[in-house]
Amino acid sequence: MSIATSIEERAARFAERYKAVYKEISNVMVGHSDILHGVLTSMFCGGHCLLEGAPGLGKTLLVRTLSEVLDLDFSRIQFTPDLMPADILGTNLIVEDPDGRRQFEFQKGPIFTQILLADEINRATPKTQSAMLETMQEKHVTAAGTTYKMKPPFFVMATQNPIEQEGTYPLPEAQLDRFFFKLEVEYSGREDLNTILDRTTRGEIVTPSKVMDGEEILEHQRLIREVVLAPHVRDYIARLILATHPGGPLAAPAANDSLAWGASPRGAQTVALAAKVRALLAGRYNVSFDDIRRVYLPAMRHRVILNFEAEAESVRPDTVLTEILRHVPEKGDGVEAA
């Protein structure tokens, strides 16, 4: 078997297995196709996902259903204003051994899992939110000088209510940057709402089947990183990121007008990996410009910070990023197509 044939078969298998997971979840979830694709893309890239929307739109149901479809450990933390970091990470307790000697023993918290649902994460105080920073980035917890590694794969699926709602705290910028995608969950349409009413008011219970385990997820994550990113396509990503830096040499007019801070290199990594997933699902082993454009908004909307004038005029990050997409050409100077 040639290398090209092997790659083609692995890519086809990924698309097939991705669709199997999508189908099982969609048997429970009604509508929100883009949101579901965004969650699965984050998971297969090894990233974390933030879902924002008003209460009652199915955010928690989506993450819970994902945990039922995947054969992984699952924990849920309901974030509240009185939640403390130790309630998430764990704490050292004094225990007594059979000989009567007392010693400290680390009691692991609910974060020690593979899929963590951080429900209404912005209900907790910034101190508690920040307790998850190390684990989300490094995938381990350090307590009393000892490091405890998470079991792979590990990803956080967090939900939050719109910031304007009462009793919410904005997530720190450093924590927002740890999320692979930020997905905005909108209200269901008329047809979807009719389907939801029909399913949920007749006592119908749909139980999804487990279709994938952790080892298979890790295998797909390795495949995604092997997808080809040609130099001119990679440079397009770099220019899209630099275009968000106000005052920079490649800054787009929309960035200079509306942004205080642009995206970090982690944003570029996110766009590249997410675009590789889109390429595989389209049956290609190389990333296209269109793949990049399709993942740009969810990868970037939480990584740019509006300036005072834009916030005063209620400008949305998506509006600024869409203008940046229009401004940056596919072909740049200095990098030739492979």
Give the CATH number, domain containing residue 251: 1.10.8.80
For residue 272, being part of any structural domain is answered with yes
Tell me how many domains the chain contains: 1
CA-based torsion, 205, 121, 321, 43: positive or negative: negative
For residue 254, being part of any structural domain is answered with yes
For residue 96, count other CB atoms closer than 10 A to its CB. 10
Domain that holds residue 271: 227-338
Tell me: the pLDDT tens digits for 158-194? Answer: 888 776 556 677 787 888 888 999 998 888 888 878 8
For residue 316, being part of any structural domain is answered with yes
Answering whether pTM is above 0.85, one says yes
For residue 158, being part of any structural domain is answered with no
* Structure tokens belonging to residue 317: 């990050």
Mean pLDDT of the 43-58 span? 86
Extended strands (E) in 48-187: 48-52, 70-71, 74-78, 90-96, 102-108, 115-119, 140-143, 146-149, 155-160, 179-184
For residue 306, being part of any structural domain is answered with yes
Mean pLDDT of the 232-248 span? 95
Q: Does the pLDDT value for residue 63 go beyond 90?
A: no
For residue 297, being part of any structural domain is answered with yes
**Burial degree of 103 (CB within 10 A; 0-12, 13-18, 19+):** exposed
Q: Does the pLDDT value for residue 337 go beyond 50?
A: no
Confidence of residue 338 (pLDDT cuts 50, 70, 90): very low
What lies within 8 Å, CB to CB, of 200 at 6+ separation is none
Q: Tell me, what's the pLDDT at 1? A: 45
For residue 16, being part of any structural domain is answered with no
For residue 125, being part of any structural domain is answered with no
Least confident of 158-167, 218-227, 244-253: 158-167
Q: Tell me, what's the pLDDT at 5? A: 54
Q: Tell me, what's the pLDDT at 242? A: 95
Q: Does the pLDDT value for residue 3 go beyond 60?
A: no
Which tops the pLDDT comparison, 99 or 49? 49
Confidence of residue 335 (pLDDT cuts 50, 70, 90): low
Q: Does the pLDDT value for residue 326 go beyond 70?
A: yes
